[in-house]
Amino acid sequence: MTTSEEKTRRAELIAAASRLFKEQGYERTTVRDLAQAVGMQSGSLFYHFRTKEEMLVAVMAAGVAELSERLEEALIGTKTPLDKLKTLFRVHLDTLLGDDKGALSVLLYEWPSLSDKARTELIKLRDGYEREWQRVLDEAAAAGLVHHDTRLLRKLLLGGLHWTIQWYKPGGESTPAELAERLLDLVLKKK
Amino acid sequence: MTTSEEKTRRAELIAAASRLFKEQGYERTTVRDLAQAVGMQSGSLFYHFRTKEEMLVAVMAAGVAELSERLEEALIGTKTPLDKLKTLFRVHLDTLLGDDKGALSVLLYEWPSLSDKARTELIKLRDGYEREWQRVLDEAAAAGLVHHDTRLLRKLLLGGLHWTIQWYKPGGESTPAELAERLLDLVLKKK
DNA sequence: CCTACCGATCGGTAGG
DNA sequence: CCTACCGATCGGTAGG
């Protein structure tokens, strides 16, 4: 079926765009780069996406969707507030530093390239993920595990985790999972 | 004297570039934008700077220099480890969120636009600032104020502080100085 | 510092 | 999805 082939091709383009946008940045990636990465002519891109920006939106939406799904799934098996807290950190860093194809890092760092309309749309999706963080942090604070100013704590922690991609080197002293544990330890009031 | 006039003009260009690079990003700012901001023709820019990238380097170098000077100056009047810790947070957020013309935020977010050569040069300057953070954190840890894993703590905190510019809104519930205090409180083991 | 300009490249389109 | 192309814009330069 043509439709399913088109979906596959579209998915390939999103995967390639994730990688290229992460490596080179959105602005420095040309439509010719993108087309070449999947073996088509640059004009053919616009059969799948109306504009280059639409590709960015697709990448970012895929990034937040994957992250939210992973977190939701990982939280299912958890019981204690501490378990949930650990899961928050681990899923975030595994996705950002580990097996992610780049969509999450594009989501974090390419906001300035979005139009106002697209930004508004994506903020809604991102807020869903942050609300999940807020819920888990509130529960942890109620259990005395972390500081009670959970809204600010959420911002500090997410910022700190987002920033790991600026300095983390794979194959170094810590895996993403180990790093998650060490970072959590920095803000834990008791164990 | 022509020389001092040239210096003034160069400083004006760096100030304009700081503002424009912060507002629009380096890639989306054109040499025509930059020239217009100081009232000259676009070709005339290249009398002051050899390339557009040289302007970015100048902005980033100015950003880290100002930040380091501010911190050094502010630390002079401090005595206790807690005082020094507070100064660390306050200077960083005052500069980033307050009166800064934009150079610091450009410094933080435009690394991917640099050539390898320029990046190496700027890393050295930035490392000086981070070493100062490390010293203060080590002293605070020795006094039992913060977690002993100060290297990772430094990364978490600097990341968290850098990220504030993504969500902080001037005129909101906290001034940069108040925010600094609240954030420090999140990682303080005792007071 | 201006004038006048250039080659390269960009995102995107028409027609098939 | 390709071919062939376009107008706009980009960073940068030569000559004064």
Query: Residue B116 belongs to a domain with what CATH number?
Result: 1.10.357.10
Unique residue bearing structure tokens 């676009």: B42
Which pLDDT value is given to residue B2? 53
**Location of structure tokens 């050295």:** B124
**How many Å does it take to go from CA B29 to C1' C14?**
31
- DSSP conformational letter for A29: -
Look over chain B and give the mean of its residue pLDDT values, rounded to a whole number: 95
- Whether the CB of A186 is below 8 Å from some CB of chain B: the reply is yes
Residue at minimal CA–C1' distance from C1?
A: B44
What pLDDT was estimated at residue A1?
A: 44
> Does residue A115 register a pLDDT over 80?
yes
Domain assignment present for residue A127? The answer is yes
Chain B closest-CA separation from residue A147 CA (Å): 6
pLDDT of res. A20: 98
* A59 domain-assigned: yes
Whether A16 maps to a domain, the answer reads no
- State which residue of chain B sits closest to A154, comparing Cα positions: B160
Mean pLDDT computed over A144-151: 98
**Structural domain includes residue A94:** yes
Q: What is the pLDDT of residues A27-75, one digit of tens each?
A: 999 999 999 999 999 999 999 999 999 999 999 999 999 999 999 999 9
Task: Count the Cβ atoms, other than its own, within 10 Å of residue A98.
Answer: 12
What integer best gives the mean pLDDT of chain A? 95
Q: Which domain holds residue B59?
A: 53-187
Q: Give the pLDDT mean for A150-161.
A: 98
Q: How many domains in chain B?
A: 1
The span from the CA of A90 to the CA of A102, in Å, is 17
Surface-to-core class of residue A21, CB atoms within 10 Å of its CB (0-12 exposed, 13-18 middle, 19+ buried): buried
* B109 located within any domain: yes
- Note whether B167 contacts A: Cβ–Cβ < 8 A: yes
Q: Is residue A66 part of a domain?
A: yes
Place B1 in a pLDDT band, splitting at 50, 70 and 90: very low
What average pLDDT does this structure show over B16-27? 97
Chain A contacts of B105, Cβ < 8 Å?
Answer: none
Tell if the CB–CB gap between A28 and B27 is shorter than 8 Å. yes
Q: What pLDDT score does A2 carry?
A: 53
Q: Do A159 and B157 touch (CB under 8 A)?
A: no
Per-position b or e across B71-84, b if 16+ CB within 10 A of its CB: beebbeeeeebbeb
